[in-house]
Amino acid sequence: MKPSLAKGTRDFTSLEVSRRKYIINILQKNFELFGFQPLETPSFENLSTLTGKYGEEGDRLIFKILNSSINEAKDDKKSQMLNDFQKALDKPFSSENLTDKALRYDLTVPFARFVAMNHGKLTFPYKRYQIQPVWRADRPQKGRFREFYQCDADVVGSESLWQEVELVQLYLKSFAELKVSVTIHINNRKILSGLAEYAGITDKLIDFTVALDKLDKIGKDGVVKELLERGISQESIDKLDFLFTQSDDALENLLQLKEKFAGNEIGLKGVEELEFVMTQSLNLGVDIQNLVFDITLARGLDYYTGAIFEVKADEAQMGSIGGGGRYDNLTEVFGVKNVPGIGISFGLDRIYLVMEELNLFPEEAASNVEYLFANFGGEETVEALKLIIQLRERGISAELYPENAKIAKQFMYAEKKGIKNLVFLGEEEIKNKTVTFKNLEAGEQKTVSLQDFLG
């Protein structure tokens, strides 16, 4: 059988794993600096936990798991169940005898489920971060995979808009340390609700936001076409035409909205919240160029209720590398009311691609071995291993070439593996308590005392 990978998945080499760890370590450090605590949830959830939270299109991308009862059934029953499964392939999965579990689509809904199950034990506001893979049955393309990591930070139990301001700070501090120049696009779901009310399409809010969210992919004409296909009249679309001709001045755009939202309570509330977040962020030193009011930003997830964010790299052609928003009602679907929440996500895989394209990974992001000890056999090998143990106790990576092979072969191994130094501990060095090593990058060879070598 010819080996192959499932579409939308990848293997990671040692260099890629080391670089991903470099990103994760920076994010994890900042999550904890901002007071977030770690959490992990299972890879799969009950299907009922996930469905109905991501909108019609999101629900179609959920990876569903074939019910284990099919495998446990007797042959005749199994055959009938598999026939039922085959017939259901072109229809929505609703029969519990086919599937009742699914791989998690994101980390937010499982987190809301966790909060609902444990709300009596948690201290609110509860701040958690989570770094785990998620799965989506999406069409693979550059920067879009079927299995990928999300790195989330969420706060539940607080309606304070200072949480939004803090998350802006978390985004900018983390990307600054990664040396990725970014722009945070911000909008408010209440503004979108206000726009729907202004255009007389309140009953089509989800259709409106799902189509608008595709603006950067399909352009104005594509959005207009989809709005019409979703049953929104040309008259309503004409009232919303100003969305596509916004100026670069956020304050001017907000003033325009205030005029259009006269008497529109939810729309004005959204403008007020957005003004607070932007004003306070700027007061704390955020550059106006890094925080942009984007009135067409929708993020097509049904659970958002307030601020919504999307982060884009300034110097690379890539989709969003982060996003999130406020979701004040998500735990209600699990029977727990009055637990407002807000969270953001960092897209690890896309951040990696941006940093790779811009050559932003430092040399220390690769986990290369510091010292390779040449194997001379006999007593020299024993002494080499004793010295290797001492290096490892000092936190210095070292290994012994496993065979007493020709020195040229050992050199080649060190070079191919990117090992920095080749160490020679022969009979002469052991007798004189010295160590000879060659720096393979500089091509320099030195003999030093054993004490100096160990530092």
Strands (E), 274-401: 291-293, 307-313, 322-326, 341-347, 371-373, 398-400
**Cβ neighbours, 10 Å, residue 140:** 13
Q: What is the pLDDT of residue 373?
A: 97
* Tally of CA atoms within 13 A in the half-sphere of 326 that contains its CB: 26
User: Between the CA of residue 142 and those of 104, 281, 319, 425, what are the distances in Å?
Assistant: 22, 33, 9, 49
Residue 302 CA to residue 332 CA, distance in Å, equals 14
Which residue bears the tokens 């229809």? 91
* Stronger pLDDT, 388 or 330, i.e. the higher one: 388
Kindly tell me if the per-residue pLDDT of 147 is higher than 60. Answer: yes
Each residue of 199-215: pLDDT tens digit?
A: 999 988 888 888 888 88
Which residue bears the tokens 């971060």? 129
Confidence bin at 92 (pLDDT 50/70/90): very low
Which residue bears the tokens 């936001």? 209
Find the helix packing angle between 265-283 and 162-178, rounded to 10°. Answer: 50
- Compute the average pLDDT of residues 12-23: 95
Show Cβ contacts of residue 308 under 8 Å, excluding neighbours closer than 6 positions: 186, 187, 188, 189, 297, 298, 299, 323, 324, 325, 326
- Compute the average pLDDT of residues 293-320: 89
- Compute the average pLDDT of residues 254-265: 90
* Tally of CA atoms within 13 A in the half-sphere of 29 that contains its CB: 11
Kindly tell me if the per-residue pLDDT of 24 is higher than 80. Answer: yes
**Cβ neighbours, 10 Å, residue 349:** 19
Cis peptide bond upstream of 92, omega within 30? no
User: 22-31, 32-41, 73-82, 403-412: lowest mean pLDDT where?
Assistant: 73-82
Kindly tell me if the per-residue pLDDT of 67 is higher than 90. Answer: no
Confidence bin at 32 (pLDDT 50/70/90): very high
* Dihedral sign for Cα atoms in the order 358, 362, 365, 369: positive
Q: DSSP letter string over 231-242?
A: T--HHHHHHTGG
Residue 107 CA to residue 330 CA, distance in Å, equals 13
Residue 365 CA to residue 22 CA, distance in Å, equals 6
Confidence bin at 81 (pLDDT 50/70/90): low
Confidence bin at 340 (pLDDT 50/70/90): very high
Q: DSSP letter string over 74-140?
A: -HHHHHHHHHHHHHHTTS----TTTEEEEE-S-SHHHHHHHHHHHTTTPPSSEEEEEEEEEE-----
Q: What is the pLDDT of residue 78?
A: 54
Strand pairing of 307-313 and 421-424? Answer: unpaired
Kindly tell me if the per-residue pLDDT of 95 is higher than 50. Answer: no
- Compute the average pLDDT of residues 97-117: 90
**Which domains can be identified in the chain, with CATH numbers?**
14-357 (3.30.930.10), 368-454 (3.40.50.800)
User: 57-61, 107-111, 278-282, 319-323: lowest mean pLDDT where?
Assistant: 57-61
Are 331 and 341 within 8 A, CB to CB?
Answer: yes
Q: In the chain, what's the furthest Cα-to-Cα distance?
A: 93
* Dihedral sign for Cα atoms in the order 106, 107, 111, 114: positive
Kindly tell me if the per-residue pLDDT of 143 is higher than 80. Answer: no
Of the chain, the percentage scoring pLDDT greater than 70 comes to 93
Distance, first Cα to last Cα, the chain: 53
The helix (run of H) or strand (run of E) holding residue 432 is helix 427-432
Closest CA to 63 of 147, 119, 182: 147
